[in-house]
Amino acid sequence: MTDLDDVPTPQGSLTLKLLAARQHTNLYGDIPGGWLVAHMDQAAELTAGRQAAGRTATVAIESMDFLSPVRVGSVVNIFTKIREIGRSSIKVDVEVWIRPPHERDPDELYKVTEACFVMVALDDNGRIRAATDEAR
């Protein structure tokens, strides 16, 4: 018997919402994975920066699989959630969900990828610092 809660839904908060436009395509007319990764990194940085109350940088991205392609005209929704806070690092779970073009139900989203971004807090000189006031 299947529980209704088994239906996957986005985890975390909506951090970025953008349109996959024609100018973002590669030579073959597809939205490249690198475009998605760049926006995922931006979303992770926004989330980590709020937590660290300042500048952060990506030091690692844990494994990532692409579950489905992103077509031109899709609305790309990037959700983030803090997984763990260390002394200077912040792990941010990032999920990408899309609403394909011509989808009638505005609430129907499809998962494209997810990854854990490891961010470190930086001071004004670009050196690693404590991620939170409690860790300082």
**Does 116 have pLDDT greater than 90?**
yes
Q: How confident is the model at residue 108 (pLDDT cuts 50, 70, 90)?
A: confident
Average pLDDT over residues 69-82: 95
For domain 11-121, give the fold.
Thiol Ester Dehydrase; Chain A (3.10.129)
Extended strands (E) in 2-86: 13-19, 56-61, 75-85
Contact 62, 81 (CB under 8 A): no
The domain locations on the chain are: 11-121
Examine the pLDDT at 97 and tell me if it is beyond 60.
yes
The answer, yes or no, to whether residue 50 has pLDDT greater than 90, is yes
Confidence of residue 1 (pLDDT cuts 50, 70, 90): very low
pLDDT tier at 106, thresholds 50, 70, 90: confident
CA 91 to CA 12: how far, in whole Å? 13
Q: What pLDDT, on a 0 to 100 scale, did the predictor assign at position 136?
A: 45
pLDDT of residue 2: 45
- Would you say residue 4 has pLDDT above 80? no
**pLDDT of 135 over the 50 cut:** no
Question: What is the number of alpha carbons within 13 Å of residue 5 lying toward its C-beta?
Answer: 1
pLDDT cut 70: percent of the chain above it: 92
**Mean pLDDT of the 68-78 span:** 93
